[in-house]
Structure 1
Amino acid sequence: MTITEDRGTEASAPPAPFYDEDHEAYRASVREFLRREVVPHYDRWEEERLIDRAAWRAAGEAGMVGLAIPEEYGGAGMTDRRYRMVFSEEIARANTTSFGVGLGLQDDIITPYFLHLANEEQKQRFLPGLAAAELIGAIAMTEPGTGSDLQGIRTSARRDGDDWVLNGQKTFISSGIQADFAIVVARTDPEAGSHGFSLFIVETGMPGFERGRKLDKVGIAGQDTAELFFRDVRVPAANLIGEEGGGMAYLMQNLPLERLGIAMASQASCQAALEWTLEYVYQRTAFGKPIGDFQNTRFELASIETEVDVSRAYLEQAILKFNAGTLTTVEASKAKWFISELQQRVVYRCQQLFGGYGFMLEYPIGRAYRDARIQTIYGGTTEIMKEIIGRDQAARYKQR
C-alpha cells in the first residue's frame, strides 16, 4: 500500500508556529531576569514565606508585569497572552513557582478589573503603580465556610453618606500580607440575590482594615497568603469598582482569564517536569545501564509526553481564542480542570522515576510535587469546573 498525493487539491500551508521571534526575545529577557533577580533569593523567600518588595519593583522595571496595561498608564500595551505563556514556561523551568503566582495574580486577576471596570480616576490612581509593581493588589473573595460558594459571602457593605461601611472576614487571600489594596467582594443588598454584591477597593491604612495570620501552606510558600478582617471600615464611594450590584457578574467575567492562567502554569509545569525527568533517567544508572533504557521507564515517559503534547494543543487553541476575544467560560473551565489534573499525574509519575531523590527538595521535581497540589483547588475546584461544563451540556441538550 502506498500513500499518494492528491494532485487535485492544492496542499494547505503548514500552520504558523505558536511563537514568533518577539516571543522568543521576550523569553530570553525573562530567563535572564529570573537568573539575576529571583533564583539567588528564592530559597530565602520560601523560608520567610514572603517575596522581597525589591523583587517586585525589579520586575516592574524589567517589564515582567503589567503587559496588558496601556502605554499611557505605564504598561507595555501587549494583550497577546502568548507572552504570559512564555513567562509561565520560564517560571516552571527555573522552579520559582511562588514568584510566578504572585505576578500572575497581578496580571491575570487584579489588573483586568481596572482595565475593564474602573473609571478614569481609578485607572490614573492605580494602573501606573501596578505597571511598575510599586503597588501590589489582592482579590478578597473567599470566606471561612464559603469556599467556592460565592453566593454564600457574608461580608457586607452599607451606604453611609459618601462612604460604604464594610464588615466581614476573608481567608486564603493571595498577596494578603503585602497587598497595598484589596478588591473586596461584599454583599450590598441582602434581598437582591446574585445582584446584591459589589466590589470595593480597600486600601492599606483604612481604619478597621486588619491582616491576620500569614498562612502556612503545603506549597508555593514564598507567595504570601493571609486572612483579612474588616471592622467598620469606611470606604469612600469613589472606591466602588463598576456599578453597585454588579459584583457577581464582574467576577464571572474575569474568572475565565484566571482559569486560563492556571491552565498555562500547569502546562508549563508538566513540560518542565518531563524535561527534568528525561535528563535524569539517562544520567542515572541501575543494574549497569541508564534507567531510561528500561522498558517501563520508556513506556511511562512516552505516555507522559503524549499526554502533555495533546493538552498543549488544546491550550494553544484556547490562548489564541482568548487573543481573538472568543474564548468561552466553558472552554476555559475545560482547560483549567483537565490540565491542572494532568499536572498532578505528570509530576507524581515523574517523581516516581527519581526514586528517593524525588522526595528531596534539593531536586526540582520535589518542589514541583509540593507546589502542584493547589492547582486543582484555587480558581475554582475541578468539581466546580465540571459543574460549569455539565450545566452547559444540559442547557444545550434539554432544548432538543
Structure 2
Amino acid sequence: MHATADLHIHSPYSIAVSRFMQPIELLRGCGTKGIRIIGTGDALQPDWMKGWEPYVENDFKVIIVPQGEIEDKNRVHHVILAEDPAQFSQLRDLLEGTCKSFITSGRPHVYLSGEEIAHAAHDAGALIGPAHAFTPWTAMYAYFDSVPACYGDAKIDFVELGLSADSSYGAAIPDLYDIPFLTNSDAHSPYPDKLGREFNRIRLEKPTAKGVIAAIRKGAIEMNAGFFPEEGKYNRTACTRCYTQYSLKEAKQHQWRCPADGGIIKKGVSDRAKELSEGGTARSRPPYAHVLPLAQIIQTMEGASSPNTKKCRAIYSSFIETFGNEIAVLIDIPVTEIRSVHPKVADAIAALRDGTVTLHPGGGGKYGTFSLG
C-alpha cells in the first residue's frame, strides 16, 4: 500500500507553536489534509508523548510515528524517528546530563556533536537525519560542507530537504547518493496551510509505525512533495534587511554587506546547493511534486487579503466536501473535475502540475511568491 506521510511537526512544548497543536486537532487536520502517517513531534518530552497514548489506535486510521528533533552543540537540528515511544525513553536516558531539561523544551539543545547524537539514536534503535538540511540557519549545510563533517563516522538514515529545497538540490551531491530524501512540514500549527504543506508518499508493507520505519530504511519513498524552492525565504542570496538579491560573485565583491543599507547578505540555498554539487553527477530520485497549500491557491485566485476570509474558507470547504481531502485535490483529482468546483483554482493546479507558474524567488528572509502566466 501507499500512504502519505508528514514526519516532522512540533508540540506546544516548543517555541512559537500554536496551543492548538494537540493530538486530536492534529488527527482532525490529517483527515482534512489527507495525511495517513503523522510524526508525533517532540517525542523526547515525556508529558507530550503521554498525551498521544489514547490515540495510537484512532478513528482517523492515521499511523502515529514517534518523532522528535534535537539541536546539537553546533546549532544543527536533527530529526529522529522511531517505531516505539520506549525508544525515545531510552534515548533520553542515553542523553541524560547533556542538556538543561527534556521537560521544559520540546526541541532540546544538547551539548553533543551530531556524531554523538546519531550514535545514541542508533543505540536506541531509532533513525536519524539532518532536519531541513539546506536551510541557512540551524542546518547541516549551514555549518558543514559534507555529511561526515557533521556526523563523523555515524551513518544517517535520511535527509530532510526543508522548505527551501527540492530533490534537485541534493541529487548531485555525492554524500547523498544513497540516502533517502524526506519532505516534511515542520508544522507549528495543526491547520491545513501548515500541516502537510510538504509530505511524502511511502510504500508500506505493514500499516504500522514499525512498517514506516522499515520502509524508510529500504528507501521506499515513492514521491516527495513540497514547495517550489524559489518560494523559500532564503532561496536566493540576498540582503537580510532590504532583501535586494545578489549573485554569488556580487555578494563576495561586497564582502557580504549590502551596499544599499549595510545589511548582511545571506547566501541563498540555491547558490549553496550549487557549491555542494560541484564535481557531482545528478542521480535519479523519486518524482517531486511541487505543491502549494490549497488555501493559499484559493486566496491568490480570489485576490483575497487572507486565506481565512469567509469566502475563501467556504471555497476550501466545498473542495473537501467534494473530494475528501486536500492532497487528493492537489495531486490526484483530474483538473476537469476540479474545474467543476472552481475554474480559477483548477487553472492554478493545472499550472502547478505542469510547472508553468511564474516564480518570484525569495531571499534574505522574505518568502517568494508565484503567479500564473
TM-score (norm 1): 0.27
| Greater share of residues in helix | 1
Q: Which structure has the greater CA radius of gyration?
A: 1
